[in-house]
Structure formats: structure tokens, C-alpha cells
Structure 1
Amino acid sequence: MDVEKVFHMTGGVGKTSYAQNSSLQKKASDMVKHITMETIQELYYAETPKSLGIADLGCSSGPNSLSLIKDIVEVVEGTSHKIFHPLPEFRVFLNDLPTNDFNSVFKSLPDFYRDLKKERNEGGPAIFIAGYPGSFYGRLFPNNCLHFIYSSYSLHWLSKVPPALYDEHGKSINKGNVYISVSSPPIVSQAYWNQFQEDFSLFLKSRSEELVTGGRMVLIVLGRIGQDHVDRGNSFFWEILSRSLAISVSQGEIEQEKLDCYHVHFYAPSKNDIEDEVRREGSFELDRLEMFEIEREVKGGESYGTAVAMTVRAIQESMLCNHFGDGIDLDTLFKNYGKIVDEEMAKQEMKPITFVVVLKKL
């Protein structure tokens, strides 16, 4: 499966869209907003460029991407006034894979520009926003054209499913599991770790060429607490997807063989994983690395399991449909998913953790 051609968040603004099911991501972004804004402020104090280059990598198609840009503009405006420096122009590049619903982002731009002008009595900064489709595992932008890079909930997605998950005959070595599980052989964890190393190193190398010296990155990424890849955090949500798909197999909706060869291109790094790779690649100084948890929050009348199921569906729908075809009943699949989440939460809390990473180009 070519991840770059298939993977995307569910577009539009319907009930199962990412736009309607990305409140968790927005909450995480808000929780570390002070870190993001401090970083952009420090950068601007140090560089005071006339033209500020900003990229949001993995911008997706919901309301979250443009809200970040608005926050950055406001912080830079305030800083400019403090130091009596002319306000720079803003060059903003929104990046995601080519199949992303960029149209919904572009359709919201007129309102975005109008609101900015309205708040500033028809004045305001010059902001130029462009879409940059493509994988961030490789070069996207010209040399030294960016000052600040932001990526939220994107870097735990690998460039591909690790090839080592399949033997020389193309058969899965991790049957019945979509990710690393208790029943997975040790080589599965190693395969995912190797792919993360390869991808994250390429990401850092590519960004180091695109950022000016002293440029900053703020990365928000799902992770894990310890060295064990299997816990009741982010890996457990994939365990629940495996169980839900197994129910679909038992009901004759999908074939066991199809389930056996379905694996997610995901990796939840540990703190050490991130630190070691930054150090090994050598282009960046690690300014900050903090771990946090997001409190459970659900809409009125909705169970936690249902909320989680809708979020996972908005993220996985494109991949599931491509792999299993039209025969898969996603409504039933994710109804079962939500039910299992609620049952598990009644037994023991699940604690997915997130890292915020701040890097400075050397």
C-alpha cells in the first residue's frame, strides 16, 4: 500500500469527518500553546526578519490549522510593538499528503482574512498562505526559507508500514495484530523502531536544510512512557482496533487473511527514542521535551468510547477502505470499537501520552 497516495484524514465537515472529530488534537495544541508562542516570540526577538517563513506540517483539513496561524500573527504583532520594529510579512505554508482535503482549508481563507482585518479596523499584516502537498519525509521547501516549523499529531505517522513485518513470501509475521501487541514476536517492535529511526532522521535532515540558522521547530507527537512498546496508552487503542476487526472477521464481513496483513504505519516513540535520534542526526539542539496527558472529555450524552471511536475512524477510514474494500461495515466496526473502549475503561484507566518537542537549528 502506497501510504502517500492513500492516507488522509476524512475530509469535509460531515459527522465522521476529521473537522468534526479533532477536538482532542485541538485540546493538546491549546495545552502547549504557551510553549509554541514562547518559542515563536524568542525566535522573532532573535531574528526580526522582514519576511517570516512558517510551515505547518500535517495541517490536515479541520479548523485547527488556521487557528494556529492567527495565534502566531498576534504574538508577532505584540512583540513587534514592544521592540518598535516594523511588522513582518507572513509566508505561511500548509503541508499535508496530496490526498488531504486542502479545498476545505482554502474555502475558509476568505473568512480568515476578513476576521483579521475586522479585528484591526481593516488594516493588519500581509499574510500569504499556500498549500504544499507532499510527504515531509524528504525535502519540501527551498534552502533557508523558513524560520518556524510546527507539526501537531503528525510525526507518529511513519512514511510506510515497516517492510520487515512481512517475510520473503509477503506473508505477515504479526498476524491478527495491526500494531505491536503482547503476542507480537520481538522482531515486530524492532521493525517499527527501525522505521521510526529512518523516518525521523530524514525529517530532521530535510528540515535543517529548509530552516535558517537559529530557526525553531515545535513538534507535538503521541508517545509512550517507558521502553516497553505495549502499554495501556497509545498502543492499546490499536489493540482495540485489532479486536474490533476480529469481530468483523467472525461475522463474515472481512477475511482473516485480509486482517492478518493489515498493519498501521504508526510508532509511539519514547522520550529516549526522540532524544537519541536528535542527538545522532546532529542538526538541532533540543531546547525542550515535555510529556503531558489529555483529560478525558466527551460531548453531551456521548460515551468516552464513542468519542474515541469517532476520532480513530476519522483518521483510519481511508486506509481501512483501501485495504478491506467496500465490504467493510465501518459503522458496525466502530460501534464495536467504542463499546470495547468503554468496557476497558471500566476495568482500568487508559493513559495515552503526548510529547511536545522544541528544537533549534544549529
Structure 2
Amino acid sequence: MDVKEVFHMNGGLGENSYAQNSSLQKKASDMVKHITLESLEETYVSMKPKSIGIADLGCSCGQNTLSTIRELVEVVDETTRKFLNIPPPEYRIYLNDLPTNDFNAIFKILPDFYTELNNERHRRGHKFDSSVFIAGYPGTFYGRLFPNKCLHFIYSSFSLHWLSRVPPGLYDKQGKSINNGSLYISKSSPLEVSKAYFEQFQEDFSLFLRSRSKELIVGGRMVLILLGRRDRSHGDVTQEKVDQYDTHFYAPSKNELEEEVKKETSFEIDRFEMFEIERNSKACMSHGTVVARAVRAIQESMISHHFGEEILDNLFETYGRMIDEEMVVEDIRPVSFIIVLRKL
């Protein structure tokens, strides 16, 4: 299965859309928003460009996308007004995701976004006007996307744990999975499975870093938020009776990420922090249901392509129930990382 041709978040605004089921990602990005905004502010103050290039890699669709962009624009606006007393820069915003992404859903809400942004600017007493140019930029970020040295700041939230493909090392010469019916890495998986996932991560992340090092100007920064794991072990993953479906997901450890950055040599790590997302006890639906809907909004395109749409409702209803049952036994808190890299 070609990931680039099949994989995408559920578009639109329906019950199973990513736009309606991405509250967990929003909560996580908000937890470390101060780091993101501080990094952009430091980047801008050190350069003071008249035209600033900002890219959101793996932007998906929905309000999360534009709320992040609005916050990035506002922090630079406020920096110019409060501390520098100069006109804000021209903003070049590039929204990137795979070509299968629902870019139309973003474009449809752009007029409201511009109106709200300008109203907020006037409310804050800005004396200067500046242009905000937003464009869709389809393509995989595992490779070049932009011209040389055109970007000052790159942001990517909950995208880099998705690999460019299912690791080819998971299959024997006959094309049969060697992963013992598991969707990912489990204690019953052969050692070759962990090795295949790790090697695919190394290939992808090193290519990502090399590509971005050419597109960022010296002193530019990247803020990367992604799922990870506490150490080099993977622990237990729920077993499924599936022989030919494997996911293109990898949660790296802190050491694995640091080693790839060190090998690439173009970036210095400004900050590297781990954080956990706590469940919302006041939510109107169970935590398992929230997680199951979020996973469905992300994985539905792949699962329905492989198994058919008829299994989806029962599959994710069962999945949500299993999570709730497990949460009674143990408080499950996925680990996330935020990494700030500065171009040398």
C-alpha cells in the first residue's frame, strides 16, 4: 500500500472528521505553546526580517491548523508593537501535508480567519498593517519542499511519528508479514521487527533534517512535537488477529532523536522536553471514546482501504471500550516530545 496515495486525516466537518476529533492534539500543543511562541519570538528578534517565511508541516485541516497560525502571527505582531516599535513583517505562511489532505476545508475558512485576525489586530491597537499570505503546499516532508533558504521558522505538530512507508523489512520474500499478527512492535515480535521500524525511522528522520537544513536560513528554528517513548524498549502493544496489515508509525526515544540530530550536524538542540497529556475528567464522553475517535480520524483511510468500510463502526467502538477498561486498571499517559532545533 502506497502511504502517500492512501493516508490522510478524515476531511470535512462530519462526526468522524479530524476537525471534530483532534482535541487531544490541540490540548497537547497548547501545553507547550509557550515554547513554540518563545522560539518564534527569539527567531524574529534576532533577524528582524521584513518578510518572514513560516511553514506548518503536516498541517492537516480544521481549526487547529489556523489557530496555530494565528498565534504565530500575533506573537510577532505584539513583539514589533511592544518592544521594537517597527512595522510587523510580511508573513509568508506555507501549509504542508500530503496531497490527499483536505486543503479545501482550510481554504473555505480562510476568509473568516483573515477577518478575525484583522479585528484582533485593531483591538490590540496596532498602528501598522501587514499582509498575511497563506498557501497550501502539498507533498511529503520526507524530501525537499521549498527553495533554498526561504524559511525562518518551521512548525510540525504530531506528524513526525508517521513514517514515509510501512518498513519493507516487515515482510519475507513471499510478501508475508513476519510480525506474528501484530500491528506494531510487541513483545511477541521478532527482533527483526524492531530493527525494521528503527531503520525506517532513521532513514526518514535523517532525510527530513537534511531537507529542512537547506530550506531554513542560518539561525532559523524548527519546533517539532511528536509522540515518543521513555526509553529504548517498546513495551506491550495490543495484539490483533491481523496478518497482513502493519502501521507506518514509530514512537522514537529521546536518545534516538538526539543521535539523528547529532549525525546530521546542521542543527543545534535549543530545547528538548518530554510531557504527558492528562485525560479530561469533565469531558462529555469517556476517555476511550475520545481516543478511539481521534485514532479513527487519523487511521480510517488506511484501515478502510485494507479491510473495507463495513468494519469501522464496530472496530472503533470496541477499541474505545477496551481503552476505558484498561484505564480502570492503569492510568495510561502517552509520552510526547517537543524539540526546538536551530539551524547552524
Post-superposition Cα deviations, 1:91-114, rounded to whole Å, max 9, x if no partner, equal 000000000000000001000001
Separation in 2 of the partners of 1:211 and 1:264?
31
Q: Which amino acid aligns with 1:340?
A: M
| Residues 300 and 350 of structure 1: CA distance in aligned 2, closer, same or farther (over 3 Å) | closer
| Residues 225 and 300 of structure 1: CA distance in aligned 2, closer, same or farther (over 3 Å) | closer
- Residue 160 of structure 1 and its aligned partner are, at CA, apart by 0.2
Question: In terms of mean alpha carbon deviation, does 189-198 or 299-308 score higher?
Answer: 299-308
8 Å contact from structure 2 (residues 88, 129) kept in 1: no
Separation in 1 of the partners of 2:228 and 2:112?
35
Match of 2:62 in 1: 62
Aligned to 1:309, the other structure's residue is in SS state helix
Q: Which amino acid aligns with 1:345?
A: M
Q: Which amino acid aligns with 1:131?
A: G
Match of 1:96 in 2: 97
- Residue 299 of structure 1 and its aligned partner are, at CA, apart by 6.4
Post-superposition Cα deviations, 1:49-104, rounded to whole Å, max 9, x if no partner, equal 00000000000012111111111111111111211222100000000000000000
Match of 2:260 in 1: 277
Match of 1:252 in 2: none
Q: Which amino acid aligns with 1:17?
A: S
Separation in 1 of the partners of 2:227 and 2:338?
9
8 Å contact from structure 2 (residues 87, 129) kept in 1: no
Aligned to 2:231, the other structure's residue is in SS state coil
Match of 2:196 in 1: 191
Aligned to 1:302, the other structure's residue is in SS state coil
| Residues 64 and 301 of structure 1: CA distance in aligned 2, closer, same or farther (over 3 Å) | closer
Q: Which amino acid aligns with 1:277?
A: E
Separation in 2 of the partners of 1:50 and 1:14?
40
Alignment of 1:325-336 (within 5 A): 325-326=308-309, 328-336=310-318
8 Å contact from structure 2 (residues 56, 96) kept in 1: yes
Residue 287 of structure 2, aligned match among 277, 298, 304: 304
Separation in 2 of the partners of 1:207 and 1:352?
27
Aligned to 2:152, the other structure's residue is in SS state strand
Q: Does 1:339 align with 2:338?
A: no
Q: Which amino acid aligns with 2:51?
A: S
Match of 1:43 in 2: 43
Match of 2:108 in 1: 107
How many residues align? The count is 339
Match of 1:354 in 2: 336
Aligned to 2:268, the other structure's residue is in SS state strand
Aligned to 1:157, the other structure's residue is in SS state coil
8 Å contact from structure 1 (residues 175, 261) kept in 2: no
Separation in 2 of the partners of 1:357 and 1:162?
25
| Residues 222 and 331 of structure 1: CA distance in aligned 2, closer, same or farther (over 3 Å) | same
Post-superposition Cα deviations, 1:230-268, rounded to whole Å, max 9, x if no partner, equal 25xxxx4xx2xx44xx4xxxxxxxxxxxx2010000000
Segments of 5+ residues of structure 1 without an aligned counterpart are: 247-258
- Residue 307 of structure 1 and its aligned partner are, at CA, apart by 1.1
8 Å contact from structure 1 (residues 283, 361) kept in 2: yes
Separation in 1 of the partners of 2:19 and 2:65?
11
- Residue 119 of structure 1 and its aligned partner are, at CA, apart by 2.3
Match of 2:87 in 1: 86
Match of 1:209 in 2: 214
Alignment of 1:1-362 (within 5 A): 1-81=1-81, 82-121=83-122, 124-231=129-236, 236=237, 239=238, 242-243=239-240, 246=241, 259-297=242-280, 300-326=283-309, 328-362=310-344
- Residue 343 of structure 1 and its aligned partner are, at CA, apart by 1.2
Separation in 1 of the partners of 2:317 and 2:121?
47
Q: Percent identity?
A: 63
What is the RMSD of the two structures over their aligned residues, measured on CA atoms? 1.3
Separation in 2 of the partners of 1:17 and 1:61?
9
- Residue 301 of structure 1 and its aligned partner are, at CA, apart by 3.9
Q: Which amino acid aligns with 1:111?
A: D
8 Å contact from structure 1 (residues 139, 207) kept in 2: yes
Structure 1 length-normalised TM: 0.91
Separation in 2 of the partners of 1:271 and 1:283?
18
Q: Which amino acid aligns with 1:269?
A: P
Post-superposition Cα deviations, 1:129-183, rounded to whole Å, max 9, x if no partner, equal 0000000000000000000000000000000000000011111000311100111
- Residue 351 of structure 1 and its aligned partner are, at CA, apart by 2.0
Q: Which amino acid aligns with 1:287?
A: D
Aligned to 2:18, the other structure's residue is in SS state coil
| Residues 51 and 301 of structure 1: CA distance in aligned 2, closer, same or farther (over 3 Å) | closer
8 Å contact from structure 1 (residues 116, 124) kept in 2: no
Aligned to 2:280, the other structure's residue is in SS state coil
Segments of 5+ residues of structure 2 without an aligned counterpart are: none
